[in-house]
């Protein structure tokens, strides 16, 4: 166990345990920053795999626990078996680490641990917290609607309505408007047992005292109300966490800031920002269709092509086929962008996204309408809400095809329809800003959460 940094303070300490993926590390560290501003000491217990960068958070303590996984390459295709292995491997080292921390706090008169806050996918923490007699709280970093739709999957499977492979039906799922059967976040990867086990594991709150949710009433009040009716413990929707937290980066990949210089040269609301997050990838056919759809639209674009997300050979082939010449100064391509800064830039008028929950929240918070191309899991649920509930985006429903992409870009960036979506997105942004300020529901939830932690 490596103690990377010590932090001495008289405030109670919170131990945070993120799932080691970008889309889950971000909200956990943002939550940590918020709670730190409220006086808590923060210690992050993290795996060696995808370790966060301690120097970005000098005010936190970071402790690495061995996970026996560092050498494994992870893709979206084996996420669920990976999470299951992580839970098997981390329990013992985590327990040893906590025991050492408790011992040290007694000997050296350090701030005592008030509770453990863990990502819903790091469910092994619950048993360990119980064993060391510490309270625990779950952080859910996907949407409330995703929770309800996963619940529905369990029920529909039990009733025999849904097979293990999910469904391609366009019919609406009863009680989950506007989700269709095809939008349900069924994993088509791995065995059905692994998927069902996964949902069951993340759904049990077991002995945890509360649930923190990276969402809010403005976006998801009906779903949150429904969940509170079903839950034995209090739920605290305190999001969007990135809006409440002091600005800092928890990026695992180095951000390329040169794209901001490029954005400076573009006109207001003209640039389409394109990114599919930290896990999704595109095959060679999709890559070509995306590239030529963008080029043919003649709309300026900033495209994040994360290393490993496309086939290197195909990318090189595309470049030799005249893509770069066709685009010229109209396009900027980077490996990883400072996404929140990009979305806040006045030149960005649209976001072509896979609808990961963080990207969705970040886009809404900046009033940027979206082109939704969900890739897997909860992304389909989020995309449906963007296009049909908040009506701030267009969903690409079919296979990636350059003509459809070009038309969608024109609809979002040029047509009246897109202007109306932008208007609604700006309106949502303002309502969210009010919600996180004094008197807003997210603000009040955070205060109640702090009261609860202080009462432990």
Binding site for ligand UDX (CB under 6 A): 21-24, 26, 142, 251, 275, 277-280, 304, 336-337, 339-340, 356-359, 362, 377-379
Backbone angles phi, psi at 55, to 5 degrees: -65, -15
Tell the smallest beta-carbon distance from residue 99 to ligand UDX (Å): 31
Tell the smallest beta-carbon distance from residue 422 to ligand UDX (Å): 20
Tell the smallest beta-carbon distance from residue 357 to ligand UDX (Å): 3
Between 45 and 245, CB nearer to ligand UDX: 245
Between 17 and 97, CB nearer to ligand UDX: 17
Tell the smallest beta-carbon distance from residue 429 to ligand UDX (Å): 16
DSSP 303-346: EE--TTSS-HHHHHHHHHTTHHHHHGGGEEEESS--HHHHHHST
Report how far residue 128's alpha carbon sits from residue 363's, in angstroms, rounded to the nearest whole number: 37
Between 236 and 351, CB nearer to ligand UDX: 351
**Is residue 93 within 8 Å of 70, Cβ to Cβ?**
no
What's the gap between Cα 382 and its chain centre?
Answer: 11
Between 158 and 253, CB nearer to ligand UDX: 253
Pairing of strands 348-353, 370-372: parallel
Tell the smallest beta-carbon distance from residue 39 to ligand UDX (Å): 26
What's the gap between Cα 88 and its chain centre?
Answer: 23
In 108-178, where does DSSP find H-type helix? Answer: 124-131, 144-158
CA angle 206, 209, 213 (to 5 degrees): 95
Three-state DSSP at 138 gives: strand
Tell the smallest beta-carbon distance from residue 275 to ligand UDX (Å): 5
Tell the smallest beta-carbon distance from residue 247 to ligand UDX (Å): 12
Tell the smallest beta-carbon distance from residue 391 to ligand UDX (Å): 20
- Give, for 409, the enclosing helix (H) or strand (E): helix 402-413
| Bridge partners, 239 (sequence order) | none
Between 24 and 36, CB nearer to ligand UDX: 24
Between 89 and 275, CB nearer to ligand UDX: 275
Between 134 and 273, CB nearer to ligand UDX: 273
Residue 403: C-alpha distances to residues 27, 193, 287, 296, 331 (Å) = 36, 39, 14, 9, 18
Q: Is 50 left (phi over 0), alpha (psi -120 to 50) or beta?
A: left
For residue 104, give every residue at least 6 positions away whose Cβ sits within 8 Å of its Cβ, in sequence order, or none.
110
Tell the smallest beta-carbon distance from residue 394 to ligand UDX (Å): 18
Tell the smallest beta-carbon distance from residue 348 to ligand UDX (Å): 13
**What strands, in cross-sheet order, belong to the sheet with 41-47?**
2-3, 61-65, 41-47, 13-17, 113-119, 136-140, 210-213, 234-237
Between 207 and 257, CB nearer to ligand UDX: 257
DSSP 48-101: STT---GGG-TTSEEEEE--S-TT----GGGHHHHHHHHHHHHHHHHHHHHHHH
Between 23 and 192, CB nearer to ligand UDX: 23
Between 56 and 447, CB nearer to ligand UDX: 56
């Amino acid at each position: 166990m490596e103690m990377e940094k010590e932090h001495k303070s008289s405030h109670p300490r919170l131990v945070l345990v993120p799932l080691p993926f970008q889309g889950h590390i971000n909200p956990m560290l943002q939550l940590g920053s918020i709670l730190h501003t409220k006086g808590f000491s923060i210690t992050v217990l993290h795996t060696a795999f995808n370790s966060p960068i301690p120097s970005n958070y000098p005010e936190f303590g970071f402790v690495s626990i061995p996970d026996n996984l560092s050498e494994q390459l992870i893709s979206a295709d084996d996420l669920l078996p990976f999470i299951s292995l992580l839970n098997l491997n981390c329990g013992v080292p985590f327990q040893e680490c906590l025991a050492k921390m408790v011992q040290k706090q007694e000997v050296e008169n350090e701030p005592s641990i008030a509770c453990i806050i863990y990502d819903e996918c790091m469910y092994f923490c619950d048993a360990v917290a119980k064993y060391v007699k510490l309270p625990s709280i779950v952080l859910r970093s996907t949407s409330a609607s995703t929770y309800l739709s996963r619940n529905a999957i369990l029920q529909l499977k039990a009733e025999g309505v849904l097979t293990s492979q999910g469904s391609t039906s366009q019919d609406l799922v009863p009680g989950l408007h506007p989700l269709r059967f095809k939008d349900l976040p069924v994993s088509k990867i791995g065995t059905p047992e692994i998927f069902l086990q996964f949902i069951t594991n993340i759904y049990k709150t077991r002995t945890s005292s509360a649930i923190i949710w990276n969402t809010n009433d403005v976006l998801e009040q009906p779903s949150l109300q429904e969940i509170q009716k079903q839950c034995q413990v209090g739920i605290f929707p305190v999001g969007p966490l990135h809006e409440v937290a002091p600005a800092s980066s928890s990026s695992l990949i180095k951000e390329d800031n040169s794209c901001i210089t490029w954005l400076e040269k573009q006109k207001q609301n003209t640039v389409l920002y394109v990114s599919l997050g930290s896990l999704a990838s595109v095959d060679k056919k999709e890559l070509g269709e995306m590239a030529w759809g963008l080029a043919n639209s003649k709309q300026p674009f900033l495209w994040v092509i994360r290393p490993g997300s496309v086939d290197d050979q195909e990318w090189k082939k595309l470049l030799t086929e005249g893509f770069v010449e066709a685009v010229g100064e109209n396009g900027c391509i980077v490996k990883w962008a400072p996404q929140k800064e990009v979305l806040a830039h006045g030149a960005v008028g649209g976001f072509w996204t896979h609808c990961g929950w963080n990207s969705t929240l970040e886009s809404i918070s900046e009033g940027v309408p979206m082109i939704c191309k969900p890739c897997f899991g909860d992304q389909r649920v989020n995309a449906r809400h963007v296009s049909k509930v908040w009506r701030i985006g267009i969903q690409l429903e079919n296979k990636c095809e350059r003509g459809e992409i070009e038309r969608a870009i024109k609809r979002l960036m040029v047509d009246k329809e897109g202007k109306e979506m932008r208007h609604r997105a700006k309106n949502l942004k303002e309502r969210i800003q009010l919600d996180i300020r004094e008197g807003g529901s997210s603000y009040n939830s955070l205060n109640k959460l702090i009261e609860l932690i202080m009462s432990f």
